[in-house]
Amino acid sequence: MNLRSVLLSIAWFSAAILPAVCAADSFDDQLRSVCRVVGTELPLRVVAQRIGDAHGINVWIDRRVDPSTPVSLSAAAGSLQQTLEAIAAKSQLEVGYASPVVILAPQGVAIDTATRILKLRSEMKQLPISAATRLLEPQDLAWDRLSTPAEIAQQIAAAWQVSVVGESLPHDLWDRCKLQGVDAADALVLLAAGFDLAPNYNPQQATFGFDRIEKSVGVALEYPSTKVAAGMARELRKIDPDVKLEKRGALIRVTGNSAVHHRIRSDRSAAKPKQNGGLADVAPGMRRFTLRIPGMKPAASILQAVCNASGFTLDTSAASSENLKRPVGLEVEDQLATAIIESICTQAGLTVRFDATTAVVADRP
Cα first-last separation, the chain? 39
Rounded to whole angstroms, the Cα distance separating 150 from 89 reads: 32
**R_g of the chain computed on alpha carbons:** 21
DSSP string, 298-322: EHHHHHHHHHHHHTPEEEEEES-HH
Rounded to whole angstroms, the Cα distance separating 32 from 155 reads: 33
pLDDT (0 to 100) of residue 48:
92
Return the beta strands (E) in the chain as ranges.
39-43, 58-61, 70-73, 93-98, 101-106, 139-143, 163-164, 177-182, 197-202, 207-212, 219-224, 244-248, 251-256, 288-298, 313-318, 327-336, 350-355, 358-363
Helix (H, G, I), strand (E, B) or coil at 350: strand
pLDDT (0 to 100) of residue 75:
61
Packing angle, helices 184-193 and 149-160, rounded to 10: 170
Q: Give the phi and the psi of residue 157 in degrees, each rounded to 5.
A: -60, -45
Contacts 24+ apart (CB under 8 A), 270-279: 270/226, 270/333, 270/334, 272/334, 273/4, 273/5, 273/6, 273/7, 273/334, 274/4, 274/5, 275/4, 275/5, 275/6, 275/7, 276/2, 276/4, 276/5, 276/6, 279/6, 279/311
pLDDT (0 to 100) of residue 286:
67
pLDDT (0 to 100) of residue 268:
72
pLDDT (0 to 100) of residue 66:
94
Residue 283 · residue 266 · CB < 8 Å: no
Residue 168 · residue 209 · CB < 8 Å: yes
User: What one-letter code names the amino acid at 21?
Assistant: V
pLDDT (0 to 100) of residue 311:
81
pLDDT (0 to 100) of residue 151:
95
Give me the residues paired with residue 258 across strands. none
**For residue 123, with 0-12 CB atoms within 10 Å meaning exposed, 13-18 middle and 19 or more buried, which class applies?**
middle
pLDDT (0 to 100) of residue 318:
85
Residue 231 · residue 192 · CB < 8 Å: no
Q: What is the mean pLDDT, run by run of 10 residues, along the chain of 365 residues?
A: 32 30 62 84 91 92 94 76 91 94 96 97 88 91 93 95 90 91 96 95 89 92 87 94 89 94 81 42 64 76 84 86 86 79 89 85 89
My answer on whether omega of the bond before 100 falls inside 30° of 0, hence cis, is yes
pLDDT (0 to 100) of residue 285:
59
